[in-house]
Structure 1
C-alpha cells in the first residue's frame, strides 16, 4: 500500500487575475480581480485542474535525485513566519523568478560534539 502525502507537497499555480479566473484575487479584498499575475502553492487535490496525489515512495526518490526540493514561503509581514514544504525544483525556480524570493531555509541548530551541547 502506498502512503499519500497530504499537506507537505505543493504545486505552483501561476495565473493572471482576471474576472474569468476560477480563483479569487490573492491581494484585493473580496472577490475582485486586479489584472496582475499571481503565483500560489496548492496541495494536489486543490490544484485547478486537480493533480495526482504524491506518494511517499516517489517523494523520497525525487528528493534523492534533486527533483523535489524544500522551500520556505514567508508569510506577508510576519517576520520569520511562513510555510515549509516540498516542491519540484522546476516550480521552485519559477517561483523565485516570479517573486524574487531568495529566502533560505532556517538553519538547523548545530550541536557541538566537543563541548556536549
Structure 2
C-alpha cells in the first residue's frame, strides 16, 4: 500500500479504500517494491501491476487472536488488522519516531 499514491503510504488505509484503488490501478508485488517504513520513497514507474477483479465482494470475518490464525488469513487474502497498544511499558522500538507522533506501528509476520 506504500506504493499506492491515493492511499496513505506508511499511515495505512482502510481495506475497502485499498480494494477500490487496486481494482482501478492494479497492485504491484511486494518483491518489486519492498516495504521500507518510509513515506519518502517513490513508486517505480515500471512496476508491473496486476488488477484485482472488480466484481470481488469485500467481506470480513473475525479470526481467533492467535499467530497461526493471522498467518492463515494473510496467506488467504489481503488482511486488515487492528492492534490496541499501550506505551506504558515502551522502552525502545524498531522504527524511530518523533516524540509527537500520533501513531507508531510495527507488525511482524514470521
Range into which the TM-score falls when normalised by the shorter chain: under 0.3
- Structure with the largest fraction of strand: 1
Task: Flag the structure with more relative contact order, 1 or 2, with Cα contacts below 8 A and sequence separation at least 6.
Answer: 1
Q: Which has the larger radius of gyration?
A: 1
TM-score (norm 2): 0.23
